[in-house]
Amino acid sequence: MNILLLSLAAFIIGSIPTGFLIARGMGIDLKTKGSGNIGATNVLRTAGKWPAFFTLCGDIAKGAVAVLLARYFDAGVLYEGVIGISSVLGHNFSIFLKFKGGKGVATSLGMLSIYSPLAALFTVLLWGVTVFITKYSSLGALISFGFLPVSMILFDTGEKLPVALIITLMMFIRHRENISRLARGTELKVGKKA
């Protein structure tokens, strides 16, 4: 019962649409602007650097708080991951946006920063290098999270591998349209105005 309640709490926390609220405060409806996504990349395209920065911080915090909450109640290693994933699902399917939402990149990084710090650091570095070279945020997410199961084994414990595999699968499912646009050469690069 406690795990279910913590998972529900994490889902609600994850559902807080940080980017949508920040952009709305500036008179911008993210659902109709740019890519239609509520994450930091689309906020950067439509609202600018500082709104994107605060969106990124808010989305990271949602994932981190969820795992910290699970750890505070001594949920155990596996359930910490499950509760962290619940926050990502909340971000992806926000109850405040009729179960629509973002891709879960920043929220996943937030949960990983507490759940498996070294794996999270490697993921961020790999994302950063990929984006620096290609200028595609989506490609950075796909490559860095594609390697997450490997980095989890290298830098943490196999006990956390199932959680890493689920996060990777979720990331690829949420980026289906990006994968199609990358293949067609129509994906927007980071910083390019929508």
- The tens digit of pLDDT for each residue in 77-90 reads 999 999 999 999 99
Q: What is the pLDDT of residues 20-66, one digit of tens each?
A: 999 999 999 988 887 778 899 899 989 999 999 999 999 999 999 99
Q: Where are the beta strands (DSSP E) in the chain?
A: none
> 193 falls in which pLDDT band (50, 70, 90)?
low
pLDDT for residue 31: 83
> Distance (Å, rounded) from C-alpha 51 to C-alpha 131?
20
Name the residue ranges covered by the structural domains of the chain. Answer: 2-15+61-184
Dihedral class, residue 76 (left if φ above 0, else alpha if ψ from -120 to 50, else beta):
left
Average pLDDT value for residue range 85-106: 96
Identify the pLDDT of residue 189: 87
Q: Categorize the per-residue pLDDT at 11 as very low, low, confident or very high, splitting at 50, 70 and 90.
A: very high
pLDDT at position 130 is 97
Neighbours of 147 (CB within 10 A): 18
Examine the pLDDT at 111 and tell me if it is beyond 70: yes
pLDDT at 194: 58
Tell me which residue of 191, 189, 106, 185 sits closest to 145, measured CA to CA. Answer: 106
The rounded mean pLDDT for the chain is 94
Round to whole Å and give the CA distance between 136 and 53: 17
Residue 132 pLDDT > 80: yes
The pLDDT of residue 41 is 87
For residue 161, pLDDT beyond 90: yes
For residue 151, what pLDDT is reported? 96
Q: How far apart are CA 125 and CA 140, in angstroms?
A: 10
Counting residues of the chain whose pLDDT is more than 70, the rounded percentage is: 97
- The pTM score is 0.93
Output the pLDDT for position 190: 83
Share of the chain above pLDDT 90, in %: 86
